[in-house]
Amino acid sequence: MFQGSIVALVTPFKNNEIDLTALKKLIQFHVQNNTNGILIAGCTGEAANISDDELRIIIQTVKSELRDCARPIPLLAGTGTNTTSGTLKRTRIAEEEGVDGILLITPYYNKPTPEGQVEHFSRIAEQTELPIILYNVPGRTGINMLPDTIATLSKISNIVAVKEAGGSVDQVSAIRTLCDITILSGDDTLTLPMLSVGASGVISVTANIVPATVSRMCSAWHLGNTTEAMKLHLNLFHLTKMLFIETNPMPVKAALQMMGYITGDLRLPLVSVKPSSRDSIRKALIAANLIEERHE
C-alpha cells in the first residue's frame, strides 16, 4: 500500500506558530516533484513539540492543498506518543480528519518489553480502521523492536508496514524471513541497501530538499534499473550525511531556510545548528546545485 519516496515533512514555524503559508509552499513543492507520499508529525516534523490542536490544523491544511492534485498522494500522520492513551487520542484526531494512514513510534522513555509493545500496538489497531505503520527507531526510543515482535504484529490486518530506522540491513532481512509486512527504510543512507533485501521504499528526511531525486532512486530500483539507482544513491550520500550532522530536524530546517522555503525556526529544546555545521550544510547545498553561493 505504501511505497516509493514518502517525505518525513518538517513542520515550519514562524514566531513560534505553525507557518501555514510555508507549509502550503512545501506541499506544492512535493506535488510538483513526484513525492509518493507525505508524512506529517513524525520525528522530523517535531511531533513531540506540536499540540493536538496543531496536529489537526496541519492535517487540514495539507489535505486542502492535496485536494486538487492530479495524482493520489497518501497523507500519513505520526500519532504515536509514549503512552497508549495519548496515542489513541492523536489517532482519533487523525481519523476524524481523514488521513490515509498513521505512523506509530515505539513508546519512548517507557521502553516497553516485546509483550508490552504487542499489547500497545494491538490496542491501537483494535480502535482504528486506519492502516498502521510501525516505527522502529531505537536511537529515539531507547529500545529496538525485534523482528519476532514485528512478525507477530503483522498478523493484525490493519498493521500493514514498518518504518525501520535502526540502522541495520540485517534487521530488514530478518523481518523479511519472518513475514511479508511492507518495510520502509527510515535511514536515508541505507535506503538502497534496504531496497535490495526487500524494502518497498523510504520515509525520507532527504526528500525534504531533493524530493525528485529520492523518488527517482526508488523508481529506478523498482523498475530494475539498478545501475541508475546506485548512481542516484551515491549522488545523494554526502548531502544526506550533512542532514544528520546534528540532531534531526535541525540540519534539514537549516537547509530549507537556505533554499528559501521556511524560516528555519525550531521549538525548544531544539535550537539552530552551530555555525560550523551551517557552513558544512551550505557547502553541500552549493555542491548539489540547490543554492548559489551568493545566497549565504
Residue 294 is predicted with a pLDDT of 63
Per-residue pLDDT reduced to its tens digit, 210-251 = 999 999 999 999 999 999 999 999 999 999 999 999 999 999
The answer to whether 135 is a known catalytic residue is yes
Q: Would you say residue 277 lies in a domain? A: no
Please report whether residue 13 resides in a domain: yes
| Separation between Cα atoms, residue 96 and residue 26, nearest integer Å | 24
The C-alpha cell 543512507 sits at 189
27-52 pLDDT, tens digit each? 999 999 999 999 999 999 999 999 99
Query: Out of 135, 155, 231, 274, which one is annotated catalytic?
Result: 135
CA triple 100-59-186, angle to 5 deg: 60
Q: What is the pLDDT of residue 296?
A: 42
Give the model's pLDDT for residue 269: 97
Under a CB-based contact definition with an 8 Å cutoff, are residues 9 and 187 in contact? no
Q: Which region among 41-55, 150-164, 282-296 has the lowest average model confidence (pLDDT)?
A: 282-296
Catalytic residue flag (residue 108): no
Instruction: Count the domains in the chain.
Output: 1
Distances (CA, A) of 5 to 8, 21, 62: 9, 24, 17
Q: Which amino acid is at 125?
A: A
* Active-site hit among 24, 25, 108, 163: 163
Rounded Cα distance between 101 and 43, Å, is 16
The residue written with cell numbers 520525528 in the block is: 43
Q: Is the peptide bond before 275 cis (omega within 30 degrees of 0)?
A: no
Domain assignment present for residue 157? The answer is yes
What are the φ and ψ backbone dihedral angles of 155, each rounded to 5 degrees?
A: -75, -15
User: Which CATH number goes with the domain that contains 146?
Assistant: 3.20.20.70
In a domain, 160, yes or no: yes
Residue 86 placed within a domain: yes
Q: How far apart are CA 156 and CA 160, in angstroms?
A: 8
Q: pLDDT band at residue 147, thresholds of 50, 70 and 90?
A: very high
In a domain, 202, yes or no: yes
Question: pTM (2 decimals)?
Answer: 0.95
278 domain residue, yes or no: no
Residue range(s) defining the domain that contains residue 178: 4-223
Domain for residue 50, yes or no? yes
